[in-house]
Structure 1
Amino acid sequence: MADINYEIVETVAVLSENNKGWKKELNVISWNNRAPKYDLRDWAPEHEKMGKGVTLSKEELIQLKEILNKMEL
């Protein structure tokens, strides 16, 4: 498997943390030197490992926000 490089440009929010120190974070990340996107996934304490996640463009994040605002939670 090819190496994946990333740069966390901005940490927007930490949504939760489990008992092993992994945190579910919303970050702005540049993957493989591409334009940064919004990214939601679990991270190990020092960002040395990551779980599966979802990467969204700004337009997709805006659309998701509109959908969530309409939901009864």
Structure 2
Amino acid sequence: MANINYEILKTIGEISDSNKGWTKELNLISWNNREPKYDLRDWAPEHEKMGKGITLTGKELRKLKEILNEMDI
């Protein structure tokens, strides 16, 4: 498997946590020294391991926010 480098530039917020200590977080991350993107995924304590997640540009995140604001939940 290829080595993936990442740097968490800003922690936006924690969405949930599990009884095993993992947390679902929204962060601003630079993957492999590229332009930072908003990232939503599960992280192990100390961010040493990660689960599958999604990355969004600022434009995509704004559109998602718009969609969520229109939902009746």
> Shorter-normalised TM-score: what interval?
over 0.9
2:69 and 2:23 map into 1 onto residues whose CA distance is 24
1:42 and 1:2 map into 2 onto residues whose CA distance is 20
User: Could you tell me the TM-score, scaled by structure 1's length?
Assistant: 0.99
* Corresponding position of 1:60: 60
User: Could you tell me the TM-score, scaled by structure 2's length?
Assistant: 0.99
Shift of 1:19: 0.4
Q: Give the helix-richer structure, 1 or 2.
A: 2
* Corresponding position of 2:34: 34
Which runs of structure 1 show a deviation greater than 4 angstroms over 4 or more consecutive aligned residues?
A: none
Task: Kindly report which structure 2 residues correspond to 1:1-73, keeping only aligned pairs within 5 A, or say none.
Answer: 1-73=1-73
Percent sequence identity over matched residues? 71
Q: Where in structure 2 are there 5+ consecutive unaligned residues?
A: none
1:60 and 1:29 map into 2 onto residues whose CA distance is 15
1:36 and 1:6 map into 2 onto residues whose CA distance is 10
- Kindly report the root-mean-square deviation, in angstroms, between the aligned alpha carbons of the 2 structures: 0.4
Q: Where in structure 1 are there 5+ consecutive unaligned residues?
A: none
